[in-house]
A and B are shown apart, each in its own frame.
Chain A
Amino acid sequence: MSLSFPRAFPSVSSPRSGWFDSASFQPVFTQSQALTGGGSPNAAELAPQRWSAEYSTTMLNEAELETWDAWLASLGGGLRTFKGVPSLRAYPRAYPTGFSGLTYSGSPFSGSGNLSAIATPRDEVTINQLPTGFVLNIGDFFSIPVGSRQQIHKLTTGGTASGGSVTVGVTPTIRPGVSTGIAVLLASPWCDMVLEGTPQVRTTNVRTGSISFKGMQVLV
């Protein structure tokens, strides 16, 4: 069976609640800053913002350790992509265990809405096709398809869906060329990433261990 990329993280087996002890998902800015003679800080952005992630697993048993080791090896260093998920915020903060019980149009809510509007500054969007009263909080994530990639955005302002629609602030701004009518992924939003640096594999003498690795977003 051939692998497809970007690769998702290995499946989590119950009763485990998640793979990671810690996971950070932070923006990286390529900017030049200088202080003027008048004391005003000037900043020039030289390249688009991208997301950087660091993941550290819990203690893994032998089978899990081998699964992760092989998963990392399949990425070929920085050559192949994986789905970088803000794992500690894989679901909106108001729904930490998922969307069980929520419905849209009589069907269980799948975790995917629709991008119905983009404000002119492109830092605010309206998402519809959501369950009534659906809550999005500051710091929640969603992702949208842009070209052949998935782009992830963080909410700067939240809201509660009224009539299935909510308007929220986002960062980074929605890229020029992105139009409305595309799917908004709220369950395990992800972006294309490649490994950055060498993963750290720490093993014990009883065939258990943990793994840490970093990822950097791929924009194109």
Chain B
Amino acid sequence: MLSLPSEVTTLIDSGRFSIRYAVRFDLDGGAQGVWNDAYAITDDGVTYAPLAGNMSVDVVPGSGTLNSDKVIVTVSGLDPTVAGYVAGTDWHQRPCVLFLCFLDTDGTVLHMMPRFSGFLDAAELSDRSGQAATLRLTLESNNRGLNRRQGRTRSDADQRQIGGSDDGFFKNTATAVTTSETIYWGRKGPQSA
């Protein structure tokens, strides 16, 4: 369940409020951030540079499966020299967090709510000579490691290898998978005379 400060819930209940997206990148040289308003803010020691409405965020997925969710963040209207900055920075697979910022009517940031976290997977730069550039960032969720095949299996041997020789949690898996048999849990089954 979301836990929001009371002033934020009051703002949302009013039905008229301001929100902005912010993205924090944990790069090798330190954390840096950008957000979608026209002035810089600092939160938790990280300065978020203004993008003034030039940043758009695709629908943030909220799946319940183990699929690798992705969020696309598009930044447009960039100076063409941004290409050199992107190329000269180690950004691939760096942790990043997408925040949803709630602002009051004064423009003060009341709360920054983490909305999505993951790793910077792709940065596609579209630029043309004499025109502003567009940067399309793909943030991939932490779930990506959960559906990759490794050497582990759900088997008795694998469980005893990891949990110790006495760990018989999966001792009946082979029987259950290969045969149709009723396993009586916690008691003996029917006994023959």
Contact = CB atoms under 8 A, between A and B. Distances in A.
B106 A121 contact: yes
Interface stretch (B50-58, B112-120, B174-182, B183-191): B50-58
A120 B108 CA distance: 11
Instruction: Give the bracket for the number of chain A residues in contact with chain B.
Output: 20 to 34
A48 B38 contact: yes
Given A48-B53, A121-B105, A220-B39, 16 more contacts: A30-B53, A36-B15, A42-B15, A42-B16, A43-B15, A45-B18, A45-B19, A47-B52, A77-B131, A79-B130, A122-B107, A173-B105, A176-B106, A176-B108, A177-B40, A220-B51
12 contacts: A40-B15, A46-B18, A46-B53, A48-B53, A76-B130, A78-B131, A78-B132, A79-B132, A173-B106, A173-B107, A176-B39, A176-B107
Interface in B5-40: 15-20, 36-40
B8 to A, nearest CB: 13
A42 B53 CA distance: 20
A176 B110 CA distance: 13
A202 interface: no
A47 B53 contact: yes
B6 to A, nearest CB: 19
Interface of A: 30, 36, 40-48, 50, 76-79, 120-123, 146-147, 173, 175-177, 218-220
Given A77-B131, A173-B105, A220-B50, A46 B16 contact: no
